Amino acid sequence: MSATSGKFLVGIFDDEDVLLHSIPDIRNSGIKILEVFSPFPLHGLDEALGYERSKLDVAAFFFGLTGTLTALTMISYMMFFDWPMMIGGKSNFPLPDFIPVTFELTVLFCAYGMTITFFIISNLLPGVKPILFDKRCTDHKFVMAIDLSKNKMSEEEITSILKENGASEVNQKEF
Amino acid sequence: MHVTSPVREPLVLGNKSYHDVTQDIACRVEEKPTKLWFIAFGVSLVMLALGSASLFQTWRLGIGVWGLNKTVGWAWDITNFVWWVGIGHAGTLISAVLMLFRQKWRTGINRAAEAMTIFAVLCAGSFILMHMGRTWLAHWALPLPNTYGSLWVNFNSPLVWDVFAISTYLLVSLLFWYLGMVPDLATIRDRAVNPISKACYGFFSLGWTGSAKHWQRYEQVSLILAGLSTPLVLSVHTIVSMDFATSVIPGWHTTIFPPYFVAGAIFSGFAMVLTLMLVTRKVYKLEEYITMTHIESMNKIIILTGSIVGIAYITEFFIAWYSGVEYESYCFINRATGPYAWAYWAMMTCNVISPQLFWFKKIRTNLVATFVLSIIVNIGMWFERFVIIVSSLHRDYLPSSWAMFYPTMYDVGDYIFTFGLFFTLFFLFAKYLPVVNMAEVKAVLKSSTDKPNHNH
């Protein structure tokens, strides 16, 4: 969400089903929705808003792969190249013994890499000031923000369309 | 969109609205600490202080202060470690495995169970550090360059695997717990009136607003984390069991250990979740969120895992005889009839017989019975580890080396330290963080309240 200054219209919905059903109609009427805020994840909301699937799973795969390769490189360097140890005449490169640590590092790299990427791309960082269009969106209301500068329609028109589609309140917000 | 089979019991009672959920959970964070909380927290701090004194002496004088001898070289230290790690298995199981299986009843209990997991793993970790003796050299267990050449750690050793497994488990559980808490911290931030709490919850809620884009990514990250944590949680106790199973000690050298330890861990973890949640539920009046359905479901998992553990005990015994290995057979006969028979039969009674009582619906839906049995299971699981460890060691190959293990006050004191640590952290959590995942409860509210067609 890049736009953080300007004039916004904020539609408040009391029920998630009303909100979900209203989104296609609101978008079809030509209104550009900036973002929708909800106290819990709503399934189908991202499709309704036309968001593409997040590619975090691809990132996760590569972070995991990094972990696997780091572990295998580290262990083979230590156990085979740098200081080969003779233990009971067994192989210096016992691959099955490397599985536990390789697995753990794969999981560790994948989990942290993916979550930190998520935090960074979403600008979710310690001390970040939240851009709240309505405080109740983390409690019990479903909030739709509309950037007036990005929409050609007048405030009154948008307000009436939102109200028609089930918004219980429509407020103005300026940042 | 919300389709739930009508035969399912509702997960949230009392016809709650979304705001009621926020109010019921967040008010515990917002209210002033009660007298009861101060008493409970004070008792935990006293335990922590007493334990710290004992721990300080253990460090100062060395682990010779424990009751170990040349035959029983590993006793309470590792018993307590395995016991705590086992307890630390329920949280991630509830949040990860039950998430993958789409078990919605996890929503009421996952937050507290995950917190318990993290604190239990910290207690387990403190036993690892303690029993190294020279705790200040704990970094020697990591593959760090050193002045010996570098002489690296031995990656063939299950103890090294354990270092990686436990630390990864702790870190990933912490991450999963924190990620799940970010939206709830934002809820508390937006309700806070006091500037200090506003700043604190604001800092840790990372500027969360609940935007659709964030939720979309959040859901994806949670699902992948659940997928990662599921094999992780199974790997941790598997590797802990390998600390024993890869050795050549009769009684330890068995291939059944990994599944048997994992089942035992889930068994004891759920028992501990029940012990804690039954009290938290009562004190915080969360009966509408942690319902009888939740308790019954957990009790059913206890029957399942308890039965797996019971079968494992019997299989182990059978294989010891069937293998024809004299030492292995002796070890098991000695367990059941030797000087530690009392511990063996305590284990059998607590872990195999007592959870079978949960087959009766009357018992598994009775709060007092559940509470008592959950404690009995945890006592039993402590004895299981004690039996495996001490009874396998105390009769060495040479009868001249036979010995018994007697704990000293430092064994007890160091154990008390971990109880103090665990409860101090748990009471801090219960007071300052939301004990129920508000966002997740709200997400299942509509599909599973007691009145299916009411309006919010």
pLDDT at A158 over 80: yes
Indicate which CATH number applies to the domain containing B277.
Answer: 1.20.1630.10
Q: Which helix (H) or strand (E) holds A11?
A: strand A7-13
Residue B456 has its nearest CB partner, among A14, A97, A114, at A14
Would you call B212 and A42 a contact, using CB atoms and an 8 Å cutoff? yes
Would you call B209 and A46 a contact, using CB atoms and an 8 Å cutoff? no
Q: Tell me the nearest-neighbour CA distance from A155 into chain B, angstroms.
A: 23
Q: Tell me the nearest-neighbour CA distance from A160 into chain B, angstroms.
A: 23
Single-letter amino acid code for the residue at B114: E
Q: What is the pLDDT of residues A66-79, one digit of tens each?
A: 999 999 999 999 98
Q: What single string gives the DSSP state of each residue in B318-347?
A: HHHHHT--HHHHHHHHHHHHSTTHHHHHHH
Closest Cα in chain A to B185: A138
The pLDDT assigned to B123 comes to 94
CA distance B277 to B106: 13
C-alpha B189: how far from chain center: 29
Would you call A122 and B152 a contact, using CB atoms and an 8 Å cutoff? no
CA distance A62 to A90: 33
Q: Tell me the nearest-neighbour CA distance from B306 into chain A, angstroms.
A: 27
**How deeply is B408 buried, as exposed, middle or buried, from its count of CB atoms within 10 A (0-12, 13-18, 19+)?**
middle
Q: Which helix (H) or strand (E) holds B202?
A: helix B195-204
CA distance A75 to A106: 13
Q: Mean pLDDT, chain A, as a whole number? A: 86
The tokens describing B22, both together, are 């926020």
Q: Which of B36-50, B97-111, B192-206 has the lowest mean pLDDT?
A: B97-111
Tell me the sheet residues that pair with A143. Answer: A12, A37
CA distance B58 to A71: 35
Domain ranges of chain A: 7-53+130-174, 56-121
Q: Which helix (H) or strand (E) holds A145?
A: strand A142-147
CA distance A34 to A133: 11
From chain B, the residues in CB contact with A115 under 8 A are: 175, 179, 221, 225
Question: What percent of chain B is modeled with pLDDT above 70?
Answer: 96
Q: Tell me the nearest-neighbour CA distance from B268 into chain A, angstroms.
A: 23
Q: Mean pLDDT, chain B, as a whole number? A: 89
CB B407 within 8 A of CB B77: no
Question: What's the whole-number mean pLDDT along residues B259-264?
Answer: 91
Q: Tell me the nearest-neighbour CA distance from A152 into chain B, angstroms.
A: 24
Place of tokens 């068995």: B254
- For chain A, how far is it from start to end, CA to CA, in angstroms? 14
Single-letter amino acid code for the residue at B299: N
The pLDDT assigned to B7 comes to 61
**Cβ of residue B205 closer than 8 Å to a chain A Cβ:** yes
**Residue B306, domain member (yes or no):** yes
Range of the structural domain that residue B335 is part of = 18-448
User: In B, residues 283-312, which contact A (CB 8 Å cutoff)?
Assistant: none
The tokens describing B330, both together, are 């002796």
The pLDDT assigned to A77 comes to 92
Tell me the sheet residues that pair with A13. Answer: A142
Radius of gyration for the alpha carbons in chain A, expressed in angstroms and rounded: 25
CB B94 within 8 A of CB B86: no
pLDDT at B452 over 70: no
Which of B150, B173, B216, B444 to mutate to probe the A interface, most A CBs <10 Å?
B216
The pLDDT assigned to A159 comes to 84
**Residue B6, domain member (yes or no):** no
Q: What is the pLDDT of residues B288-312, one digit of tens each?
A: 888 888 899 899 999 999 999 999 9
Of B416 and A6, more confident: B416
The tokens describing B450, both together, are 């007691």
**Cβ of residue B147 closer than 8 Å to a chain A Cβ:** no
- Helix, strand or coil, per DSSP, at residue A165: coil
Q: What is the pLDDT of residues B437-448, one digit of tens each?
A: 888 888 888 776
Tell me the sheet residues that pair with A7. Answer: A174
Would you call B164 and A85 a contact, using CB atoms and an 8 Å cutoff? no
Single-letter amino acid code for the residue at A34: L
Complex ipTM, two decimals? 0.92
The tokens describing B92, both together, are 């991630």
CB B411 within 8 A of CB B127: no
From chain B, the residues in CB contact with A114 under 8 A are: 221, 224-225
**How deeply is B148 buried, as exposed, middle or buried, from its count of CB atoms within 10 A (0-12, 13-18, 19+)?**
exposed
Q: How confident is the model at residue A54 (pLDDT cuts 50, 70, 90)?
A: confident
pLDDT at B83 over 90: yes
Q: How confident is the model at residue A1 (pLDDT cuts 50, 70, 90)?
A: very low
From chain A, the residues in CB contact with B228 under 8 A are: 107, 110-111
Q: Which residues contact B124 (CB under 8 A, 6 or more apart)?
A: B80, B81, B82, B84, B85, B88, B166
CB hemisphere CA count around A78 (13 angstroms): 19
Q: What is the pLDDT of residues B180-196, one digit of tens each?
A: 999 999 999 988 888 88
The pLDDT assigned to B91 comes to 82
CA distance A164 to A152: 19
Peptide bond into B150 cis (omega under 30): yes
**Tally of structural domains, chain B:** 1
**Cβ of residue B456 closer than 8 Å to a chain A Cβ:** yes
Single-letter amino acid code for the residue at B346: A
Closest Cα in chain A to B444: A40
Single-letter amino acid code for the residue at B189: R
pLDDT at B454 over 70: no
Classify strands A35-37 and A7-13 as parallel, antiparallel or unpaired. Answer: unpaired
Q: What is the pLDDT of residues A110-154, one digit of tens each?
A: 999 999 999 999 889 988 888 888 888 888 888 888 888 887 888
Q: Which helix (H) or strand (E) holds B365?
A: none
Phi, psi of A140 (to 5 degrees): -145, 0
pLDDT at B146 over 90: no
The tokens describing B30, both together, are 């917002």
**Residue B10, domain member (yes or no):** no
CB A105 within 8 A of CB B168: yes
Could you say which architecture CATH assigns to the domain A7-53+130-174?
Answer: 2-Layer Sandwich (3.30)
Q: Which residues contact B170 (CB under 8 A, 6 or more apart)?
A: B118, B121, B122, B125
Alpha helices (H) along B74-149: 76-87, 90-92, 98-100, 110-131
